Amino acid sequence: MTPSLTAAGPSKERPHASHRRLRRFWLRIHLYLALFFGLPIVLMGLTGSCTVFWVEIDELLNPKLVVNSAHGPMRGLDELLQVAQDANPTQHGSWTLAMPLHERGMVTVIHQPDGEVPDAPQRMVSINPYTAEVVANRVWGETLTTWLYTLHNSLLLGRGGFYTIGVLGIILIVSLVSGLYLWWPRGSKFKYAFSIKRGASGIRLVFDIHRVAGIYTVAVLLAISFSGIYFVFGDTITTIVNSFSKVEHLQFQDPKGLKSFVLPSIRPISAAQAVALSNQMFPNATLRYVVTPDGPEGVYRVDRRQPREANTSSPVSSVWLDQYSGQLIATRDPNRYTAGETFLNVLWPIHNGEAFGLPNRIVNALAGFAPLILYVTGVIQWLRKRDKSSI
């Protein structure tokens, strides 16, 4: 549309009218995103709250997973590994020994199926570290907590669902930013925008709850959403970060081309020996995982957690060893990370709440309920306005 002309030149639209138009635009965006994508985002939030404490919930539902009392020193890693393999004689390849997160926890020996067996289940063997007794022999996805975890990660839709979750994360960020814009007060009203009006009732109370729930959780939800998007579209985000700061080490990826030099006459080293060798590299770090070689050319990987490392459950202080000679092949030390690598490395502990300990986990778990509150209060407001417009 061509602007009208006057003697003074093109007429200018009043600022408040332009603001109203922009506000209506973002209000429609905010509304339509909620109506079309609100329910799956609510599901993401609620299941995310569960996954923050999924290990604790699993132990609560299955008391046998908690050691009643310690009986002497822990059994050797190779004995525990052999017990798990004997309990699953048809499972071959690489195994992962996950150390307990607390002194009364079980050692979990995990068998991750390779790509040669489509849809093969991931088996989790919980072993009492003091008695070497198999306490549970379960399949990932067949327990409540692992089912919820899979629901959160992929909506139970496999790889396609995994990417759907990433798209929903982007939509959530747009919804949060548009909501922040709509919330932003002007002038003296700013100090009242963080609280619920005293004596408020009916639709005003619903409106205030929607506004307050959004502003107090927006920062946490933005951080959780962005970190979740990274896990889905990591290559793209890594490329962007790499343009500012060099990125070579990634948390959930092994260096490429690692393999052992096959020596037929030499017996592979044991898991305990691999751990002892890794201790030379990280002497003050706590053992977290031991991944056994997958095939004759496979390598050992030992993951440890150094003091003050942000990630508790999946630390990245790692060494890779030749399974025959025990020779060090590669290392990964977060204390030597570039700024870009450090930024990407903290996204996982930010997502699951481990970055700042238990208080952060509690905040993340509570924030997972915010999408439900925002969705319900938002729909109530929309239905009321629709009913009024139809009169």
DSSP per residue, 206-274: HHHHHHHHHHHHHHHHHHHHHHHHHHHSHHHHHHHHHTTS-----TT-PPTT------TTSPPPPHHHH
The whole domain housing 216 covers 20-54+150-242+360-389
How many structural domains is the chain composed of? Answer: 3
Look at residue 180 and tell me if it is in a domain. yes
Between these two residues, 92 and 145, which has the higher pLDDT value?
Answer: 145
Answer whether residue 118 shows pLDDT above 90. Answer: no
Look at residue 261 and tell me if it is in a domain. no
Any idea what the Cα angle at residue 295 is, between residues 293 and 298, rounded to 5°? Answer: 45
Answer whether residue 15 shows pLDDT above 60. Answer: no
Residues with Cβ within 8 Å of 364's Cβ and at least 6 positions away in sequence, in order, are 48, 49, 52, 220, 224, 351, 352, 353
Residue 215 and residue 176 in one domain: yes
Answer whether residue 164 shows pLDDT above 60. Answer: yes
Euclidean distance between CA atoms 48 and 381, whole angstroms: 26
Distance (Å) of CA 180 to CA 26, 27, 193, 212: 10, 11, 11, 11
pLDDT band at 65 (very low <50, low <70, confident <90, very high): very high
Look at residue 91 and tell me if it is in a domain. yes
Q: What is the model's pLDDT at position 390?
A: 61
Residue 177 and residue 31 in one domain: yes
Euclidean distance between CA atoms 283 and 303, whole angstroms: 12
Euclidean distance between CA atoms 9 and 11, whole angstroms: 6
Q: What is the model's pLDDT at position 6?
A: 37
Parallel, antiparallel, or unpaired for β 328-332 and 299-305? Answer: unpaired
Residue 11: is it exposed, middle or buried by C-beta count within 10 angstroms (0-12/13-18/19+)?
exposed
Q: Torsion over CA of 144, 226, 121 and 324, rounded to 10 degrees?
A: -130
Residue 96: which CATH number? Answer: 3.10.450
Residue 157 and residue 224 in one domain: yes
Answer whether residue 302 shows pLDDT above 80. Answer: yes
Q: At which of 87, 110, 143 does a domain end?
A: 143
Provide the token pair at 241: 């970060």
Residue 116 and residue 168 in one domain: no
Residue 109 and residue 128 in one domain: yes
Q: At which of 143, 165, 200 does a domain end?
A: 143
Range of weakest confidence among 157-171, 317-331, 349-363, 377-391: 377-391
Look at residue 353 and tell me if it is in a domain. no
Q: Where are the alpha helices (DSSP H) in the chain?
A: 15-52, 54-61, 77-87, 144-154, 158-183, 202-232, 234-242, 271-281, 339-345, 347-352, 357-367, 370-389
pLDDT digit string (tens) for 264-288?
A: 889 999 999 999 999 999 999 999 9
Answer whether residue 19 shows pLDDT above 90. Answer: no
Residue 309 and residue 162 in one domain: no
Q: What is the model's pLDDT at position 87?
A: 95
Euclidean distance between CA atoms 212 and 190, whole angstroms: 12
Q: Where are the alpha helices (DSSP H) in 53-157?
A: 54-61, 77-87, 144-154
Name the amino acid, one letter, at 368: G
Residue 31 and residue 165 in one domain: yes
Global pTM reads 0.89
Look at residue 59 and tell me if it is in a domain. no
Q: What is the model's pLDDT at position 14?
A: 55
Look at residue 210 and tell me if it is in a domain. yes
Mean pLDDT on 23-50: 96
Residue 25's CB: how many other CB atoms inside 10 A? Answer: 11
Answer whether residue 117 shows pLDDT above 80. Answer: no
Look at residue 184 and tell me if it is in a domain. yes
Range of weakest confidence among 164-173, 180-189, 267-276: 180-189
Provide the token pair at 282: 């990280």
Euclidean distance between CA atoms 152 and 37, whole angstroms: 15
Answer whether residue 232 shows pLDDT above 70. Answer: yes
**Number of C-alpha atoms within 13 angstroms, CB side, residue 224?**
31
Provide the token pair at 103: 């002194």
Ramachandran assignment for 150, one of left (phi > 0), alpha (psi -120 to 50 degrees), beta (any other) = alpha
- Cβ 271 vs Cβ 293: under 8 Å: no
Sign of the C-alpha dihedral, residues 331, 335, 337, 341?
Answer: positive
Answer whether residue 7 shows pLDDT above 50. Answer: no
Range of weakest confidence among 111-115, 162-166, 246-250, 321-325: 111-115
Euclidean distance between CA atoms 36 and 41, whole angstroms: 10
Euclidean distance between CA atoms 191 and 189, whole angstroms: 6
